[in-house]
Amino acid sequence: QEMKLFTVMFSYLLLLGLYTPPSLSDSPPLQDMCPMAPQDERKLFMNGYLCKHPSTILASDFKTLLLNHAGKLDNMVRSSANIVTAAEFPGLNTLGMSMARTDIDSYGIVLPHSHPRASEMMFVHDGSVLAGFFDTTGKLFQKRLCEGDVFIFPRGLVHFIMNYGLRLATTFSVLNSQNPGVVGITHAMFAPDSDVVEGLVARMMKFREMEIPDNKTTDFPWTY
């Protein structure tokens, strides 16, 4: 009798685990890591940010001027990327999104990077760009984009952007996390002005010369 009861209970718990609604599961993390603090060191630290009291919420909480102006382009890669998250724009808190503005001068480039917690939808506002990403097998997906075009960078995949024209290019993006994170593939290991980064920029500029038909992809041309 006890064995039968145990079997029924075990089956019930197994089914409960398989069919638990997503709303009852753990929320995805909003920072890179979160080890438990020792009990004597614990202070309030949330996976996100505390909300304002409803009586103090203002319309200004939902407006930002942080993407109004181009960033500084006087650097080796001739580009600037500005990501606005809930940390800078209070109205984004709990909405699961952030925004970005990217400005790229002629022959400029945004070096390969990834967002571990978000996919990115990019809209070309001015100029023309070459945008691409690599899947987990190293295959390259890239397209030339003009004003009004939209391109998607899937979550966690390494991607890049470069100016394809002769004037300033500007893009705006929406990312589906209030803290998407940025992992710079080169800057994580090398100084921004190192010979390695300079060599990578020179090699990636060869992507401008590549013609990839709409229904084709290619491998990363390190040896081109």
- Say if 219 falls within a structural domain: no
Q: Which pTM does this prediction carry?
A: 0.77
Q: How far apart are CA 46 and CA 23, in angstroms?
A: 18
- Say if 126 falls within a structural domain: yes
- Say if 13 falls within a structural domain: no
Name the amino acid, one letter, at 19: Y
**Range scoring the smallest mean pLDDT among 42-46, 49-53, 72-76:** 42-46
pLDDT for 114-164, tens place per residue? 999 999 999 999 999 999 999 999 999 999 999 999 999 999 999 999 999
- pLDDT band for position 85 (cuts 50, 70, 90): very high
Q: Would you state the pLDDT for residue 28?
A: 72
Residue 157 CB-density burial (10 A; 0-12 exposed, 13-18 middle, 19+ buried): middle
Determine what percent of the chain is predicted with pLDDT higher than 90. Answer: 48
Give me the CATH number covering residue 91: 2.60.120.10
Residue 211 known to bind ligand: no
Domain that holds residue 107: 60-211
More confident residue, 51 or 112: 112
- Say if 76 falls within a structural domain: yes
Residue 159 known to bind ligand: yes
Residue 223, pLDDT above cutoff 50: no
- pLDDT band for position 203 (cuts 50, 70, 90): confident
- Say if 54 falls within a structural domain: no
Domain total of the chain: 1
Mean pLDDT of 214-222: 55
- Say if 132 falls within a structural domain: yes
- Say if 145 falls within a structural domain: yes
∠ CA(183), CA(162), CA(143), 5° rounding?
100
Q: How far apart are CA 145 and CA 122, in angstroms?
A: 10
Residue 125 known to bind ligand: no
